[in-house]
Amino acid sequence: MAKNGVFAMALQQLDSAAKRLKVDESWLTVLRHPERELTVSCPVEMDDGSIHVFTGHRVQHSSARGPCKGGIRFHPSVTLDEVKALSMWMTWKCAVVKIPYGGAKGGIQVDVTKLSTPEIRRLTRRYTAAIMPIIGPRRDIPAPDVNTNSETMGWIMDTVSMLQGSTVLDIVTGKAIDLGGSLGRREATGRGVMFNTLELLKRLDKTALETTVAVQGFGNVGSVSADLLQKQGCKIVAVSDLSGAYYNPDGLPISEMIDYCLKSPNHYLQGFDSGGISRISNKELLELDVDVLVPAALEKQITEDNVENIRARAIVEGANGPTTPDAEKILVGKGKYVVPDILANSGGVVVSYFEWVQSIQAFFWDEDAVNRNLERVMIESFADVWNLAQKKKVDLRNAAMMIAVDRVANALAERGIFP
């Protein structure tokens, strides 16, 4: 295990919560180890006839509370260490919002910008076949993540269905509506970020209309978060993607920017122009003097190297693991609020659960029902975390982790160790 890897960071968070809860050392030892780690080689015939071998992973951290659940990402930075950390965070994420799942995660180390759509499709199908022995509707249900989407989930569902000889709608979530997907699923993670932000603002006696927000990342989570927060009255002054960061102190035209990305090469903001917008660096975006910062890109964006320059009063983590533990101690010490990833971005897994239930029942809800149920879960979960933080005088991450770890540890104790 890399000393400074993200899995070490996940273990540090677990140990901190377990110490406060006085979790039995035996159960803590179990929680520190993923149940299953699978690494696969995925040979793919490229368009030019050559064969390239890609490395993929699927890690299942815990099935104590139910089937494992977690996304699949396609990214050059994917490592086993990263996937292990993400699977552990998924366990806590499901537990903190009372969803009867455990945590899993998957990924392939690949730069999808260098592959054609047919190459990505063949890679997805080969990876699916390789991990099929450990996934299933009652075992482990994948979902979209970085650089994967409803189309990717459709390929996975079709691959499993073809190999099993019957249509298996509930093998994945995040599917297209025509393939048994849920209305509201695409916006769910960003909508959850929005609900968590609004709940925090209520506790700080601040209205959306007087709130400025900067959003790092303009993929599905970042763009939806920015759009929905703006529609609630917040002023979105900065957003960024791989093409750079865009800033306007009077507020950005988020809807126009989303429409532009839908048509632009690689779906980036590169080339977008509108009155009053200036280009800034990603570093400058993170350090803007705003009320709320939403890091919605990748892990380890707020670290000891830049934390002293973070001026936002609150950080709402749209991404997984964007704040390192040491940096968070400094932020909390300064009186800032960090709504942790396992709560802030859990809207996606909540609606994934709704989709899974709908697929099993072959009975689908309207979008209002999905969003109402998501709002209820988010508001109740935020209140649970906030109230425990106030009662125990701990920060929001430790409160969320204490709730999640306690629920998983209790499930382990009630089930016992097999055999």
Active site residues: 105
Secondary-structure breakdown of the chain: helix, strand, coil percentages, each rounded to the nearest 5: 50, 15, 30
Helix pair angle (396-415, 80-96), 10° resolution = 90
Question: What is the helix (H) or strand (E) element at residue 52, kind and residue range?
Answer: strand 51-60
Gap between the terminal Cα atoms of the chain: 28
Query: What is d(CA 238, CA 293) in angstroms, rounded to the nearest whole number?
Result: 10
What are the start-end ranges of the H helices in 318-366? 325-333, 341-344, 347-361
Enter the tokens of residue 256. Answer: 């126009």
Burial of 210 (0-12, 13-18, 19+ CB in 10 A): exposed
Asked if 77 and 301 count as a contact pair (C-beta separation under 8 A), the reply is no
Compute and round to an integer the Cα radius of gyration of the chain: 21
Beta strands in 300-413, from DSSP E residues, in sequence order: 314-316, 337-339
Torsion of CA 295, 345, 66, 410, to 10 degrees: 80
Query: What is d(CA 215, CA 84) in angstroms, rounded to the nearest whole number?
Result: 26
Enter the tokens of residue 107. Answer: 């990924």
Asked if 30 and 405 count as a contact pair (C-beta separation under 8 A), the reply is no
Quick one: which of 75, 71, 53, 55 has its CA closest to 135?
71
Burial of 132 (0-12, 13-18, 19+ CB in 10 A): middle
Tokens 């102190």, located at residue = 249
Determine the length of the chain. Answer: 419
